[in-house]
Structure 1
Amino acid sequence: MTQTVDFADLTLDELRVALAPDIAASAIFDGWNETALVAAAEMAGCDVDVAKLAFPGSKPMDMVEAWITSVDQAMEAEWPQERLATLKIRERIRSLVAFRLEAVAHIDEAVRRALAVMAQPQNARRSLRLGWRSADIMWRLAGDTATDYNHYTKRAILAGIYSATLAVFVNDDSDGKADTHAFLERRIDGVMKFEKVKAQFLGKDRELPSLTRFLGRLRYPAR
């Protein structure tokens, strides 16, 4: 995907995100490495030395994080709160996750390689934080304003659903990724049923402090 951007006007943070989709496209063939970075810079018309400055050391996880950020931003642009507000909550979440799947529909191998990078032990905490961040963005776009126990459970569950759906996605050879979308629908159905049962069990205003503190550590991992 060729960028029509004046890279000289971008900050390094903005440049990383701007280059990320092209890096992902190159990662299909080259993996998340300097070769993909150089190919992406050339494809986008960005000075290679500047691109390398944006990704010092050409670290794979830095590239993957920039790519996830680019998907987050594209999702926010495509599905602002006012557009989602016309849908039921179940459809809001389904639409947001479906958008993310469609955004990577033709770069399965890049997704597979990105998941492998994220699964490396040294990247585990950072990957958890990124998954939480994307889930948080989705819930906020969906209109969620919870600040109690529900804030944490919703994000933890959605991050788990999205991660599991991606694992199905990269191995799905069905037409139009039909099996992946069917899997997503089943997971969302399960969550909606769980939310109803949880509401009945806990009551509207009840919290579980110990679990809330534990989930809080997922949101803000210790350094």
Structure 2
Amino acid sequence: MQSDDTPNPTQDDIKDRLLDAALIHVAFDGWSEATFKAAAEDAGVEPTLARALCPRGAVDLALAYHRRGDLAMIERMKVTDMTGMRYRDKVALAVRFRLEAATDKEAVRRGVTLFALPQHAADGAKAIWGTADAIWTALGDTSEDGNWYSKRATLSAVYSSTVLYWLGDDSPEHTATWAFLDRRIDDVMRIESFKAQARRNPLLMPFMVGPDWLARQLKAPKARGQDLPGSVHPGA
């Protein structure tokens, strides 16, 4: 067992140790119970304490690994000068930062497998939504209606497809992945452009009345982190 030299470690410190120890085993055993037990032993954490911090074992560690990547992305965004960049380029750069924060591709691959299982699919969807929310929040998104949801739902789809492409990409410096990401964002921008044009077109305008009305009724959540955040306007 490893000894901990940190005086009075917090629960987060101990969980970080568990996660670091788990990453060594994930490539061989996935995010599994075997990995969790080996991580606790390697990190010198008593099994009862490890279980108290991670009631679902390796599933909680896999989610912690995802959140660690989100935090690394946010910190990199804070120190990057994006002045003068187009908004779509800022979003693309943020997604790139998020993927580059995943230093262990095999851990991500095993995570995709884990969260593809029916019993963990909701956790995976929530984690991806959290990443999209983190990106928009870091970019200063101020939307308070249905646009809050549509932005995060669209980016979640872009991020998910890019992750899957990235996992199979062996091009130098992942250049193929960044090109794929640019194409996906361009697709989204074309849809948004079409919607804007439809609102100005007298022939198409009637078809936008319903969706626009519904978008105005939805409100962004006051408390972040809910599974399905938000509410319908009381006056609806």
Q: TM-score, normalised by structure 1?
A: 0.78
Aligned pair count?
212
* Structure number with bigger Rg: 2
Alpha-carbon offset, residue 114 of structure 1: 0.5
Structure 1 unaligned regions, length at least 5: none
Aligned to 2:168: 171
Residue 100 of structure 1 and its aligned partner are, at CA, apart by 1.6
CA contact (8 A) 1:148 1:207 kept: no
- The one of the two structures with greater contact order (alpha-carbon pairs below 8 A, sep at least 6) is 1
Which residue does the alignment assign to 1:54?
53
* Per-residue deviation, 1:57: 4.9
Equivalence map 1:10-21=2 (5 Å): 10-11=10-11, 13=12, 15-17=14-16, 19-21=18-20
In structure 2, the partner of 1:152 is: 149
Distance 1:163 1:5 in 2: 39
Deviation at 1:197, TM superposition (A): 2.5
My pick for the range that moved more, 148-157 or 84-93, is 84-93
In the TM superposition, what are the counterparts of 1:1-223 in structure 2 within 5 Å? 6=6, 8-11=8-11, 13=12, 15-17=14-16, 19-40=18-39, 45-49=43-47, 50-58=49-57, 60-80=58-78, 83=80, 85-86=82-83, 87-105=85-103, 107-202=104-199, 207-209=212-214, 219-220=228-229
Q: Is the 8 A contact 2:63 2:127 kept in 1?
A: yes
- When structure 1 is superposed on structure 2, of 161-170 and 21-30 the one drifting more is 21-30
Q: String of CA shifts for 1:17-60, please: whole Å, max 9, x gaps.
A: 564354334311221124333554566x55353434422352x3
CA shift in 2, pair 1:18/1:137, >3 Å: farther
Structure 1 residues 197 and 28, CA, compared in 2 at 3 Å: closer, same or farther? same
The change in CA–CA distance for 1:75 and 1:162 in structure 2 (over 3 A counts) is same
> How far does residue 63 in structure 1 lie from its aligned partner after superposition?
1.7
How many angstroms does 1:130 deviate by? 1.5
Q: Which moved more, 1:117-126 or 1:20-29?
A: 20-29
Q: 2:108 & 2:155 partners in 1: Cα distance?
A: 19
TM-score normalized with structure 2 length? 0.74
Gaps of 5+ in 2: 201-208, 231-236
Q: CA deviation at 1:83?
A: 3.7
Aligned amino acid, residue 125 of structure 2:
L
The equivalent of 2:206 in structure 1 is none
Distance, in Å, in 1 between the alignment partners of 2:182 and 2:196 is: 21
In the aligned structure 2, how far is the partner of 1:138 from the partner of 1:191? 16
Q: 1:88 offset after TM fit, Å?
A: 2.7
CA contact (8 A) 2:22 2:39 kept: yes
Q: Which amino acid aligns with 2:10?
A: L
